[in-house]
Amino acid sequence: MAVTINPDTQHPDSHVTFRSVQKTYDGSTLIVKDLNLDIRRGEFLTLLGPSGSGKTTCLMMLAGFETPTSGEIRVNAQVVNSVPPHKRNIGMVFQNYALFPHMTVRENLRFPLAIRKLSAAEIDKKVEKALDMVQLGAFGSRYPQQLSGGQQQRIALARALVFDPELILMDEPLGALDKQLREHMQLEIKNIHQQLGVTVVFVTHDQSEALTMSDRIAVFNRGVIQQIDSPTALYEKPENNFVASFIGENNALEGVVESVEGDVCGVKLANGTRVKAAMRNPLSEGGKAMLSVRPECVQLNAQSLGCTNRLGGYVKDIIYLGDHIRVRVELAGRKEITVKAPAAQHKTRFDKGDAIHVGINPEHLLALDPSLGA
C-alpha cells in the first residue's frame, strides 16, 4: 500500500511539491518510484525509513544535488529541476557538519552571506543574530576543531539559517551525537523551527527522533511513501504492516478472518484462539490478517478481566525499568508477545514461569492486510 495523491491537484498551503518523480541511477532500478508529495509551508516534515528506502535521494533532489529521472519538483509553484543548488534559497545541515576547518565560526557564517554579496554591515548583523539564535555568541572567534560535537552542529544549523532561507533541509543531522546530546538538540531544533516558522524537511532512520520532532512524518519503504501523517496517527493508526512494525514497538499475530461486521472482524489465530480486531484495511472472510498491538495496550491478569480478547500464556521474562516493567509472554502455540505495564501495578504479583492472562480490547488490536507495505 502506498499513499495516493492526485498529481493534478496541489494543497493550497504547499511550499514544495513532488509530482510523479522517479529516480534511477542504473536505468533499471527505481530508487524513488512515482513520488507525489506536498510539503506545507512552515511545517516540520520528516522523511523516515530504513537505509535504501529513498528518503535521502528525495532530499538530495530537492536540494539540487541530484536530478529527477522523470517528474517535476516545484518550490513556490516554480519548477526547480534544472535550477542549481545555490540558486534555490535552501539551507542545508549535514550529519558531518561540513564546516570549513580553516575558518573561524564567524567566518564560516559570513561565507554564505559574502557569496550573496551582502554589505559588510548587513553580514555582521546577520552573523551575530544567527550566533545568538543557537546560543553561541561568545564562540565566534573559535575554529570548528575547538568546539564539541554539539557546538559544531549548532554552528552548522546557524550557517544554514544565516541567510534567511525559506526552506531548511537536514540530512541525519544528529546521527553523530551521543544519546543525551541528540535528545537535547532535537528540542533545540524544534524550538528554533517554532520561532522562525521556516519550512523544515528532515531525514532520519530513527523513528523516536521523528516522533519527537515532526508535525508530519512520511514513512518510506522501497522508494514509496507508505503513509504520511501526524506522529500520533502513525503510531496509533498505521495503514499497513510495514508502518506498524517500523514505527515504535509492535506485537504481530497472524490469523485468518472468520467474520466481518462493519469495522470489526473476527480472526482465528494460528494457535486456534479466536479474537475480535479493528480493521485498518479491507479484509474478506477466509483471507489472511496480520494483527498489530502495541505493548502498552496489552493488559495483564486482573487488568485483563474486562477485555474482550483474553488469552492465556506463561511469563518468559520480566525486565524492571523503574517506572514500568517489560514482560515477555509466551502464548499457546509458542508465540511470544511483549507487554509494557506500570511497575507499581504489578509489583511482586507474578514471576518468571508463572501462568498469566493477557487482555486486548478490539480497538487496540488492529487487523491489517499482510500483503500491503511489503
Please write the tens of the pLDDT for every residue from 305-336: 999 999 999 999 999 888 899 999 999 888 99
Decide: 262 and 252 in contact? Cβ < 8 Å. Answer: no
pLDDT, tens digit, 9 for 90 and up, residues 12-53: 789 999 999 999 999 999 999 999 999 999 999 999 999 999
pLDDT, tens digit, 9 for 90 and up, residues 264-308: 999 999 989 999 999 999 999 999 999 999 999 999 988 899 999
Domain that holds residue 232: 14-242
Pair (29, 157) in one structural domain: yes
pLDDT band of 85, cuts 50, 70, 90: very high
User: Is 201 a member of any domain?
Assistant: yes
Pair (203, 297) in one structural domain: no
Cell numbers of 150, please? 554539539
Pair (166, 222) in one structural domain: yes
Pair (237, 262) in one structural domain: no
Could you give the C-alpha distances from 224 to 24, 53, 67, in angstroms and in order? Answer: 13, 8, 18
Pair (171, 257) in one structural domain: no
CATH number of domain containing 258: 2.40.50.100
Q: How far apart are the first and last CA of the chain?
A: 8
The one-letter amino acid code at 343 reads: A
User: Is 9 a member of any domain?
Assistant: no
Give the pLDDT score at 348.
Answer: 61
Residue 366, H or E segment: strand 366-368
Pair (318, 182) in one structural domain: no
**What is the number of structural domains in the chain?**
2
Could you give the C-alpha distances from 352 to 327, 331, 355, in angstroms and in order? Answer: 9, 14, 9
What long-range pairs does 110-113 form, CB within 8 A, spacing at least 24? 111/159, 112/159, 112/162, 112/163, 113/162, 113/163
Could you tell me which residues come within 8 angstroms of residue 78 by beta carbon, excluding any fewer than 6 positions away? none
Pick the last residue of a domain from 242, 267, 300: 242
User: Is 166 a member of any domain?
Assistant: yes
Q: Say if residue 338's pLDDT is above 60.
A: yes
In the three-class reduction of DSSP (H, G, I as helix; E, B as strand; rest coil), residue 108 is classed as helix
User: Is 4 a member of any domain?
Assistant: no
Pair (26, 159) in one structural domain: yes
CATH number of domain containing 117: 3.40.50.300
Cell numbers of 331, please? 502464548
Pair (165, 307) in one structural domain: no
Give the pLDDT score at 66.
Answer: 96
Of residues 344 and 339, more confidence is placed in 339
Pick the last residue of a domain from 210, 242, 274: 242
User: Is 354 a member of any domain?
Assistant: yes
Pair (39, 104) in one structural domain: yes
Residue 211, H or E segment: helix 207-213
Pair (356, 336) in one structural domain: yes
Residues 55-83, mean pLDDT to the nearest whole number: 96
Percent of the chain with pLDDT over 90: 77
pLDDT, tens digit, 9 for 90 and up, residues 175-222: 878 888 888 889 989 989 998 999 999 999 999 999 999 999 999 999
Give the pLDDT score at 288.
Answer: 96
Give the pLDDT score at 4.
Answer: 56
Pair (276, 149) in one structural domain: no
User: Is 3 a member of any domain?
Assistant: no
User: Is 282 a member of any domain?
Assistant: yes
Which DSSP symbol is given to 9?
Answer: -
* Pairing, β 288-293 against β 299-300: unpaired
Pick the last residue of a domain from 216, 242, 268: 242
Give the pLDDT score at 175.
Answer: 83
Pick from 305, 364, 298, 307: which is nearest to 331 by CA?
298
Give the pLDDT score at 319.
Answer: 93
Pair (166, 265) in one structural domain: no
In the three-class reduction of DSSP (H, G, I as helix; E, B as strand; rest coil), residue 2 is classed as coil
pLDDT mean across residues, the chain: 92
Could you count the other beta carbons within 10 Å of the beta carbon of residue 117?
7
User: Is 373 a member of any domain?
Assistant: no
Give the pLDDT score at 9.
Answer: 58
